[in-house]
Chains A and B, each alone.
Chain A
Amino acid sequence: MEEAAYLPLVLILTPAVAGCLAPLIGKVSEKGRDAFSVLMETLTLLIAVYAAYVCFSGVAGGVGIWDFALDRLSALIALRVTILGFAATLYSIHYISEEPHLNRYYACLHFFVAGMLGMVLTQNVAFMYVFLEIMTVASCVLVAHRTYKEAAEAGYKYIVLCTIGALFVLLGVALTYQHFGTLSLVAVEKLAAADGVVPMFIALSIIFGFGLKAGMVPLHAWLPDAHAEAPSSISCLLSGAMIHTAAYAMAKVLFSLFAAEAFGMIGLLLVSFGVLSMIVGTMLALVQTDMKRLLAYSSVDQMGFILLGFGLGSVLGAIGAAYHILSHCLGKGLLFLSAGAVIKATGTRNFRELGGLSSKMPVTAVVSMIAALSLSGVPPFSGFISEFLICKAAFEAGHPILVLIMLIVSVTTLAYLLRFLHATFFGEPNGRSETAKEAPASMLVPMVILAALCILFGIFPTPVIEFVRVACATLLGGA
């Protein structure tokens, strides 16, 4: 297993090397750069699959070297990042082929994936801050990639707010080192109580810093703009991978620093922010007519489920949150990719101007429906399993009111997603829809793969649940 210790580093370095080489290859051959990018993301995905296999075949405690480690939970989160990284890169080949500055686009795309993997796989809070900044810088360039007025505004809001968030994480890093004497989350001795000024400041800095990146209400102002104005392949990564990576990092740091006894107040904060995110996100999604903004607000409300799952402080809640990270990543990533295909075919983001696209784009319509049902928690899709687990955890923790809120939010999610899909794919075709054509194979293949995974993880949830159970229990340390 000695070679396996290098897996986390290899996993981070593969997309990072791709990010360095892609623009150089692009200067010689654009097709070569595209092929190289897909190849490297496929390689990263295969390494992540192998890493998950290594963890699954007995290394529950994790493998790693130099403050980079791979346990079952981080393997699952890394796997999800690489699945979306691969899907977004393959999708980009046709989707963005006619736009300028593609060398910059592919370089930043690979660094973005590398930053996310670094965040997931490091056990050191200082490195976590560095990877957070790498992720922010790369994704900001991608958000403002198209450089028109709205993209510039979205990029500006994004970089300013996320850098402020990252600075709060850095403040948390400084306070953590001052209080615990180490930056390693493995070596740290958990606090039995979060009383006193410094532990509370650490917890608040971490929640504020990572919460801003995760799009937690009321720190979500950047999210709808950035998700809507970024190219759809990037929206897919922002919404499907990045915000969850931040939520996972927040949970990992908090669970590593504070023991079960100290988690009460922090858990209450997370649950409160989770409920607020669910309610505000759903209400704002209901009134949108821009499909990408609707999906962005939907991400805010789904983030509420994840925060709530982690905030409950139980193993079942953490498993539910981890599973929801996976199912939301697949569902929302898929919806952003299909929204991109619709926008490319019709030239509008306003779904009120569309209709009857199901006959013109049947595959896109079917996969969008699968994603919408999964996100709304309808069986047998993966979203049902994760929302059920979180509801069960809330019920077991004695909070039936939270279960009620989650059920209402799930029904409302189904309502606004069906409204969007009905307006887009059903009814009478109008002017814009009549000339639309189905997306090419390079865009459809990643969508079909994600749709298949939504169904697969819904029908066979047990292996994944068993896979993360030990890791969640270890992370919570009996919480």
Chain B
Amino acid sequence: MLVAYLRRLGVRIEVETMSTVTSVVVTGIFLGATLAVLLPFVRFEVATFFAVFMLGIYVALLKRDVIKVILGILLSANALYPALALLELPFSIYLVFDVTEILVTLVMLWVALLIKERYGALDGWKANLLRW
């Protein structure tokens, strides 16, 4: 449904570019997350989820399509929920977390559509009027 909706909005082709600084930062983040899983001296119980979490952050920082940025953030959030489930928190906490996440996603979509409306595309990098 989301794909069909995006096609209706005219989102078909996307060209991804990024600066050297961003590349170095996201590569560093991703390597850090990988090390957290692989190396015995930094490994901890929720490290696998942490790696997926960092992958989501990587996607959010790398992608210029606002919908993909939102999906990256959701990927990060969804990586944390299984980790939280492992910890056997009170059920009400999960419920509150879920409602909060839905609310955040709705507002992110509202802003994404605002970007599409004002800039004529879902390209987040076109929204660059504000600098320093």
Name A residues whose Cβ lies closer than 8 Å to a Cβ of B.
126, 129-130, 133-134, 136-137, 140-141, 144, 147-150, 152-157, 159-160, 163-164, 166-167, 170-171, 173-175, 177-178, 183, 197-198, 201, 224-225, 228-229, 284
Decide if B114 touches A144 in the complex (CB within 8 Å): yes
Decide if A164 touches B46 in the complex (CB within 8 Å): no
| Number of chain B residues whose Cβ lies closer than 8 Å to a Cβ of chain A | 44
Decide if A140 touches B87 in the complex (CB within 8 Å): no
B6 in the interface (beta carbon within 8 A) = no
Decide if B83 touches A155 in the complex (CB within 8 Å): no
Closest 3 CB pairs of A and B: A153-B127, A152-B114, A225-B130
Decide if B80 touches A137 in the complex (CB within 8 Å): no
Decide if A152 touches B127 in the complex (CB within 8 Å): yes
Q: Which residue of the partner chain A has the closest CB to B93?
A: A126
Which of A152, A156, A171, A183 is the one whose CB lies under 8 Å from B89? A183
Inter-chain contacts of B50 with A (CB < 8 A): 171
Q: In the complex, A133→B46 CA distance in Å?
A: 23
User: Known pairs A167-B80, A183-B93. 17 more at Cβ < 8 A?
Assistant: A126-B93, A126-B97, A133-B100, A137-B107, A140-B111, A141-B107, A144-B111, A153-B128, A156-B114, A156-B124, A160-B60, A163-B104, A167-B57, A167-B73, A170-B77, A177-B89, A225-B130
Decide if A178 touches B87 in the complex (CB within 8 Å): yes
- Produce 1/0 per residue, B5-29, CB < 8 A to A: 0000000000000000000000000
- Produce 1/0 per residue, B108-132, CB < 8 A to A: 1011101101110000100111101
Decide if A126 touches B89 in the complex (CB within 8 Å): yes
Closest CB in chain A relative to B117 CB, distance in Å: 8
Inter-chain contacts of A225 with B (CB < 8 A): 130
Q: In the complex, A183→B88 CA distance in Å?
A: 12
Q: In the complex, A149→B112 CA distance in Å?
A: 12
Q: In the complex, A155→B66 CA distance in Å?
A: 12
Which of A153, A155, A160, A284 is the one whose CB lies under 8 Å from B69? A160
Inter-chain contacts of A136 with B (CB < 8 A): 104
Which of A134, A141, A144, A167 is the one whose CB lies under 8 Å from B53? A167
Which of B41, B56, B80, B100 is the one whose CB lies under 8 Å from A174? B80
Closest CB in chain B relative to A96 CB, distance in Å: 19
Inter-chain contacts of B112 with A (CB < 8 A): 156
Q: In the complex, A137→B77 CA distance in Å?
A: 16
Closest CB in chain B relative to A113 CB, distance in Å: 17
Closest CB in chain B relative to A419 CB, distance in Å: 17
Decide if A197 touches B124 in the complex (CB within 8 Å): no
Given contacts A156-B127, A171-B50, A175-B46, contact A163 B111 (CB under 8 A): no
Which of B45, B53, B69, B130 is the one whose CB lies under 8 Å from A228? B130
B38 in the interface (beta carbon within 8 A) = no
Inter-chain contacts of B84 with A (CB < 8 A): 170, 173-174, 177
